[in-house]
Structure 1
């Protein structure tokens, strides 16, 4: 991630990612990955947002969280474009601030999606009478505001920013596990939700947990390792940042699971054999 400086807690120096990429990774490879992710993900994300917008009705709240998740992905795509653009003034901190806010928001919108799907199965009556578009919009606004506040805290916590960032990204992990386990336990007792809807809900919860585990946990390991050891592992940093580039692309699979049709047949096929 060019232009982003990381201060080691045990060394009085900063590390520029331009130097990291030139010494430990071929810059062209990182740029090629970025070009591919943006070229594929950006148009598909725009199409998905347009399609999901048509699904937002008074009786269908779930797409609101997914739309906001995809909007945060759009912001990340824009950052990637700026990142590979020549002659970018990285002294303009607002660029990185917006990216960090979008990254935090994307993680917590995944939590919102999992929570909403959990309530459909575990507390269907409560969810049926309490779900409203207004409530979902308020939650989304809170997520965006808190994400911006957390991004500011990341900038101004000095030496403790590493631990703060690690805890910030680690907090959703037990929540996502709880929602998945709670949903699986409640499945047998739920009769008001059709079987195809149950499979789709479980599929969404599993997919969210997989995206988080595979693409965000490496960054958490990086932060914790740097905080405990006081050393900067450049290879781990590059691996973590590369995984983060794929997170907006992976979120598009959530849109596939939200749509009825092909995915229902795919999820039902193991039960038909």
Structure 2
């Protein structure tokens, strides 16, 4: 019997939690954007965006990483689908009022690039373990990908930290899902989660925003560690068309509202 055959197969985790995650991600994202772009400053609702609104991005990143790791045979094709949504959303996204005039690509570009990077790194590591890739070529490829990360991070929403989130989620989820009962395996899985939490803690300015981002990441890591088996299926599944069109659609509606309200002399 070979060593590979003797090792227990990794448990395929349940994705039932992502049904709840979809509704929560859309709700918190929309709340964040409404408080940031639409509602008058006089309402003083910035706290909502700095708390509940900070759940959306790490939750989107976690679901993309989860599906890319456990549920799709072609992560790059999955990344391309996310990229198409980003291309459609870019124009209405650019119409949102901002403090800076710098050109920024919307969050779908961050998610697509992060998934592509994470999938590529996993593929290279697998080839190295199988003896199909020399160590120096692996190091060279990793260095080149870091150079691309350094450049791309200046152009995408959530920047360098946002690009790191999906690859780090994939590493942590992989180890947590495969961890056995021995102390060494548990310690290794815990160590794999630390970089993700450190990066998540650097993504926002306020302590409240950091807390919500880190707490979201922790919740998903617990799901990867086995809590996914305790999650019931969502009573009402997210309609696929709604899931695919909400991001560009809600930006388009907000752009129309801002144009109409501006024509009436503003709402603030």
Task: Sort the TM-score into its range (normalised by shorter chain).
Answer: 0.3 to 0.5
TM-score by length of 1: 0.32
Higher RCO (CA < 8 A, seq sep 6+): 2
